[in-house]
Amino acid sequence: MRLPPVPWSEVERRARSVSGGPVTRAGGADDLTVRGLVTDSRLVVPGALFACVRGATSDGHRHASAAAARGAAALLVDRPVDTDLPALCVPSVRAQLGPLGALLTGDPARALRLVGVTGSNGKTTTSVLVRGVLDADGDCTGVVGTLGAEVGDRSRSTALTTPEAPELHELLRWMVDAGARRAVVETSSIALDMGRMDGLTFEVSVFTGFEEDHLDHHGTLEQYWASKARLFEAGRTAAGVVVTDDPWGRRLADQAAVPVTRVGSDGDADVRVLGWRTGRGGTEVLLGDDTGGHRVHSPLVGRVHVTNLAAAWAAGRVLGVAPDRIAAGLAAVAPPRGRNTVLGGSGRPLVVVDYAHTPRALAAALGTARDLTGRGGRVHLVLGARGRRDRYKRQGLGGSARAADCVWLTDEGSHGEDPAAIRAELRVGLLGSSARVREVPDRRAAITAAVGAAGPADVVLVVGRGHETRLLDTTDPRDAVHLDDAEVAATALATLHASEEDLRGRAS
């Protein structure tokens, strides 16, 4: 994508519009222009503006000379650097990434009606559902999230749930150029905390629920909640849709400074879940709102999707979409990759691959697995935990795992941490459980063994990675290996089927 040239004077003007302190311009002729905003010196192209961002382990100011060597036209800094390039010195480089990222991509968000989605669990699925609703209403809609970016039949990968501001605005530009009129942005608490959403205004923002997570970044549960609540500030969003089935959601609905549509099972909810059922064929939800009762069908499997569907319904209503079009949109959305992906059946065990990586999400996934078992069937759980992330959750994951009949403890990518120590922390939560626990460190072998041990009425639940396809056991990203849980499970099911066919052939 070729970005338009922007005069240096316009960059300075936009930078001065950001509150926080003085902006000093050093150099740069009146005819200087820049193309694009880059935060990684290795990705600089000739003519780019290089932003010297201070990170947790690195400082972009140290790479200013490398950016210059690659052809950067100018620098964005918050302290002097030894270079001949023109520079804007600002109080905070990070605070400028959103506004300048927007400017240098032609302010694409001004051409889009935006929806933001946040929550500890359910962000990805709800984002995809809202996109389906808006597509059904006739508006070409893009989506940015954990699974990447999509618009129409085009897709692009992203490294983060919510990309850094320059990349996010480039994606929005890409969507506008593809004909999009709306976009749904999956919004992480870390992105809100780090200002990646600055410069965007949402027509409606959705809160899917809250659970302890990411405390290695936020420090406290209160700060984590406060980061998510930022999405519902006046000036950032015009309206909110909030799932109020937990105290944190009710608190947000009470405190938000924008109009809020409450979603939940309580009688005071604006969109009420009146009933639901789920099975191998999908999920059906009965909803009530100010227009009456509505029956929603979806191919998504699992009780966890009930409130996701209700929240997407509510977002559609806030955006003025007719009930019949919302229902049609929800019915047309295929299950997102790695979110209760169901494999097997037809005489073989079912395998469910899910991203569940928090204690409450795991409990919900186990409930779904139990719903899917046949008569007398058991639930086999393949469980691990990622290294160097949210260590405090591990015992809670083990506690939720107690609801399984058999637990296969395995590795999930240790990222340089001792994998045996990770499994030991999971075991603490399983103490006293009646579940049979087996340790199979190799994840591929654990999934294969669990499928091989399962009977035709059983369900094998593989959690933690969902859509992810790269497994890393060191601190060097170059050491990552390909491992797709769904692929491994499908191979194990095919091998099981072939073995059964061979046995039947011998018997005959």
Reduced 3-state DSSP string for 77-113: ECCCCCCCCCEEECCCHHHHHHHHHHHCCCCHHHHCE
Per residue in 159-185, is it b (16+ CB within 10 Å) or e — as a string? eebbbbbbbbbbbbbbbbeeebebbbb
Phi, psi of 392 (to 5 degrees): -60, -20
Enumerate residues 6+ apart whose C-beta is below 8 A from 375: 457
Is 265 assigned a ligand-binding role in the annotation? no
190 is written with which tokens? 């870390």
Burial of 253 (0-12, 13-18, 19+ CB in 10 A): buried
Is 161 assigned a ligand-binding role in the annotation? yes
345 is written with which tokens? 């059946």
* CA–CA distance, 44 with 21 (Å, rounded to integer): 27
Give me the residue label for tokens 């395995």: 410
Torsion of CA 220, 226, 229, 234, to 10 degrees: -170
381 is written with which tokens? 């759980």
Is 196 assigned a ligand-binding role in the annotation? yes
What order of strands is seen across the sheet that includes strand 459-463? 341-344, 350-354, 459-463, 379-383, 406-409, 436-439
Instruction: Report the DSSP beta bridge partners of residue 98.
Output: none
Q: Are strands 148-151 and 154-156 parallel, antiparallel or unpaired?
A: antiparallel
Give me the residue label for tokens 């010297």: 52
Query: Within 13 Å, how many C-alpha atoms sit on residue 241's CB side?
Result: 31
Is 291 assigned a ligand-binding role in the annotation? no
The letter for the amino acid at 213 is D
Instruction: Report the DSSP beta bridge partners of residue 439.
Output: 409
Widest CA span of the chain, in angstroms?
87
Give me the residue label for tokens 């919004």: 187
Our measurement of the distance from residue 437's CA atom to the centroid of its chain's CA atoms, rounded to an integer in Å, reads: 30
Is 76 in contact with 88 (CB distance < 8 Å)?
yes
Q: Mark the binding-site residues, compressed into ranges.
A: 41, 161-162, 188, 196
